[in-house]
A and B are shown apart, each in its own frame.
Chain A
Amino acid sequence: MSDLIDVTALWQGLVASLVAGVGIAAVFAVGLLGLSMYEGWTGDADSAPAGTTAIRPSQGAGPRSAGLVLAVLSFALVLGGIGLGIYAMLTAAG
């Protein structure tokens, strides 16, 4: 196998793909979780009667602030990941 392909490059690519592919998706999901904490929405929203506004009252400043911080940090990381992806694209193309 090593005669045919660069096994080192293969492993590097696979590990980078896993970190970026799973990592960014997971971090984005955490951001959504933080956003929902900030806005006070939970799974209860799904069971609300049709036609009503399914928003729970605010859960208090603590969880809401934590949710906001979590969302901002998470989405910032995602944007950083996108920047890294564009850098990789330019480096590979150039």
Chain B
Amino acid sequence: MDGNTILLVTVIATALAFDFTNGFHDTANAMATSITTGALSPRIAVALSAALNFLGAFLSLSVAATIAKGIVDSGAITLTVVFAGLVGGICWNLLTWYLGIPSSSSHALIGGVVGATFIAAGLDAIKGDGLMSKVIVPALLAPFAAGLVAAIGTFSVYRITQAISTRVRDRGFRIGQIGSASLVSLAHGTNDAQKTMGVITLALVTNHTLNEDAETPLWVIVSCALAIAAGTAVGGWRVIRTLGKGLVEIEPPQGFAAENSSAAVILASSYFGFPLSTTHVCSGSIIGSGVGRRLAEVRWGVAGRMATAWVLTLPAAAAVGGAAFAAANGIGGTVGAVVIFLALACFCALLWLAARRAPVNHRNVNDEWTGSVAPTVERTPSLV
């Protein structure tokens, strides 16, 4: 096996690892409110989301062999840049998972690639206008648009159902939540698995293993679908807890209105060519559902921490991506990439071990919010 092949295998493995982190980081977007309101038990919820993410990945019929299109100069993209960008994205995903903060995996990947490209090819290779129009402006608009839709939706459902018994109302909306959450999971699988397919296809094209106009191989589609589904099935309980319990104390009508708002905003914006981050939309919807219900409490402190993380996503991931490229390039060749890959694996292991000291799992994810992501009462540790 020559050096190029080893580098290619390393990039593909890293891309699938990113897809895995994308899966467990974003489970909360679709399922957090359903778990909190009792519409679905925690383990059923993540299993359903995993299955729908897997299915959604196969709905992505056209896969573009691009990454950060319109944001960085495509001529600057090399295997090492792609690899370093993925490292930046994975590190930010894992750090925010550990802190229980919902953040955009897409923006983390773009940030990583931007940072690696900057180090590799200089500032001229970064397209500021593209960054602004494709990343920053949508990131600013998404939570407000989703919040507005969810707030009006929540207000409406409470007004319409005020004459119905609470028991009937809540039962009905819990059933509705299963449908709306499923739609969000399906949309997530369609959008996000396609991203990693594009990265791997680009790696294959760059390595001349695949022609530029060739179709994406079936094994790429299947492996990406499996990776995102496996990540989803692991659960990402820490982020689920923040979204489901930390932002707003959610009742079933709010949960339904929030998930419905998320599905509507995600699908409408994608259809009209203005794709938004699933995380930003879902988080905005949950906050909007708190605003829309009279006397509901929105924990603005938690929302503020989340907004801070969103602002930091691009520069932080860019910093890691840039550092990863510099280190891999400095060591040189395939060995450099393999060394950074092993360092990434160590970082992952350390964070996982740290998380086990204050575990969040399917047993305690719905415990009362005590101000931090892990409940104060210790329970039996689980995987994540």
Contact = CB atoms under 8 A, between A and B. Distances in A.
Interface of A: 3-6, 9-10, 12-14, 16-18, 20-22, 24-26, 28-33, 35-36, 39, 41-46, 54, 78, 82, 85-86, 88-94
Interface in B7-61: 59-61
Q: Chain A binding site: helix, strand, loop or mixed by DSSP?
A: helix
B93 interface: no
B169 interface: yes
B26 to A, nearest CB: 16
Contacts of B271: 13, 16, 88, 91-92
A36 B194 CA distance: 43
Contacts of A32: 161, 164, 168-169, 172-173
9 contacts: A10-B272, A17-B146, A18-B152, A21-B263, A25-B256, A25-B260, A28-B157, A32-B173, A92-B267
Interface string B246-270: 0000000100110011011101111
Interface residues of B, number: 57
A42 B263 contact: no
B61 A21 contact: no
Given A21-B150, A25-B257, A41 B270 contact: no
Interface stretch (B183-191, B235-243, B311-319, B371-379): B183-191
B362 to A, nearest CB: 28
B274 A25 contact: no
Contacts of A30: 160
A94 B61 contact: yes
Given A5-B133, A35-B172, A41 B274 contact: no
Given A9-B272, A43-B163, 13 more contacts: A5-B138, A10-B274, A18-B149, A22-B153, A25-B260, A26-B156, A28-B256, A29-B156, A29-B161, A35-B168, A43-B165, A89-B187, A92-B271
Closest 4 CB pairs of A and B: A21-B264, A45-B165, A21-B149, A20-B264
Contact of B263 (A14, A85, A90): A85
A12 B272 CA distance: 7
Contacts of A25: 153-154, 156-157, 256-257, 260-261
Contacts of A26: 153, 156-157, 160
Contacts of B138: 5
B62 interface: yes
Interface string B114-150: 0000000000000001001100011001000110111
A93 B190 contact: yes
Interface string B161-178: 111111111001100100
A37 to B, nearest CB: 9
Given A25-B156, A26-B157, A20 B268 contact: yes
Nearest to A31: B172
Contacts of A41: 164-165, 168
Given A5-B133, A82-B179, A13 B166 contact: no
Nearest to B190: A93
B59 A93 contact: yes
A54 B368 CA distance: 30
Interface in B264-285: 264-265, 267-275
